[in-house]
Amino acid sequence: MAFTHVPGASLYWKRDGRDHAPALVLLNSIGTDMDLWDAVLPHLQDRFALLRIDTRGHGASVAEPGDFSMARLAEDVLAVADAAGIARFSLAGVSLGGMIGMELALRAPQRLEKLVLVCTSATMDSASWNDRIGTVRTEGMAAIADLAMGRFLSDAAVPALFESVRRQLLGMDPQGYAGCGAAIRDMDLAPRIPAIAAPTLVVTGTRDSSTPFAGHGEHLVQSIPGAAHVSLEAAHLAPLEAPEALAGALASFLES
C-alpha cells in the first residue's frame, strides 16, 4: 500500500495478487472506497496483478475541496499506475469508476488493454446531481444517505452488509463526495464513447435502479464498438451482492 501525490490530492492505492500476471485496475463507485472489491479479490488474485485505488476524496485519498473533472480523475489513475510501475492494464470500474474508465480509454488508449464497465452510464441527470452536490456541501453526508443506500443495495442484501456500507458512506468526506459528484454532473462521455477502441464488457444489475440496462447499459452496448454485455442478479454495488458471479464474468472476458 502507498500514497501518490498529484495536483490537489494524495491518492491511496494497494497492490494485490501476482506481480507478473496481467495487470487489472479496480475502481470504486462514488460513496465507497477500494474495500468495495474485497469479496471479489479471492476469485481474482491468483490470475491478475491487481491495483486498487481510492478515488480522490474517498477512503484514504485526501483531496482539496472543489469540483473535480472526469479528466482529472482519469489522470489520477494514470499517475498511480505509473507509480506502481504498470505501463498497460485492463480496468474494471463500478459506477463512477466505470465513468473514469471510459474517460481514460478515450484519453490514453495506448495504456488500456480491456475495459469492464460495471453498473455505470455515460449520461446522468445533471440537475439532480447538482442538487445532491449542494445538499452534501451544506448539510453533510447524512442528508443523502437514505437516497444513496436505496440505490446501492437491494432488499436481498444482508443487514450486516447494509449497515457496513451505510457507516462507510456516513463517515466519508462530504467535500470529496461533492467533488466527484461534480465530475458526474459535468461529464461529456455520451457523444464520445463510440471512439473507445478497447475491447469492452458492460455489466448490468437486474436490481440496479440507478444505472439499469434500460436507458444506461443498453446505450453503452450500442455505442461502444463491439461491446459485450453480461447481466447479474445485483443492485448498483454488484461487487458486494454478486462477487463470485462478477469475478467469473471478469476472468472470462479478460482472459479470452
pLDDT in tens, 218-252: 999 999 999 999 999 999 999 999 999 999 999 99
- Picking from 135, 100, 123, 134, the residue whose alpha carbon sits closest to that of residue 29 is 100
pLDDT in tens, 155-200: 989 999 999 999 999 999 999 999 999 999 999 999 999 999 999 9
pLDDT the model gives residue 212 = 98
Q: Which residue has the cell 473514469?
A: 100
State which H helix or E strand residue 6 sits in.
strand 2-6
- Mean residue pLDDT of the chain comes to 97
- Picking from 192, 9, 24, the residue whose alpha carbon sits closest to that of residue 106 is 192
Give alpha helix (H) positions in the chain: 41-44, 70-83, 96-107, 126-139, 145-152, 159-171, 174-186, 218-223, 238-241, 243-254
The residue count for the chain: 256
pLDDT in tens, 45-90: 999 999 999 999 999 999 999 999 999 999 999 999 999 999 999 9
Q: Is the pLDDT of residue 1 over 80?
A: no
Q: Is the pLDDT of residue 96 over 80?
A: yes
- Picking from 53, 58, 57, 59, the residue whose alpha carbon sits closest to that of residue 24 is 53
Cα 117 to the center of its chain, rounded Å: 8
Residues 33, 59 contacting (CB under 8 angstroms): yes
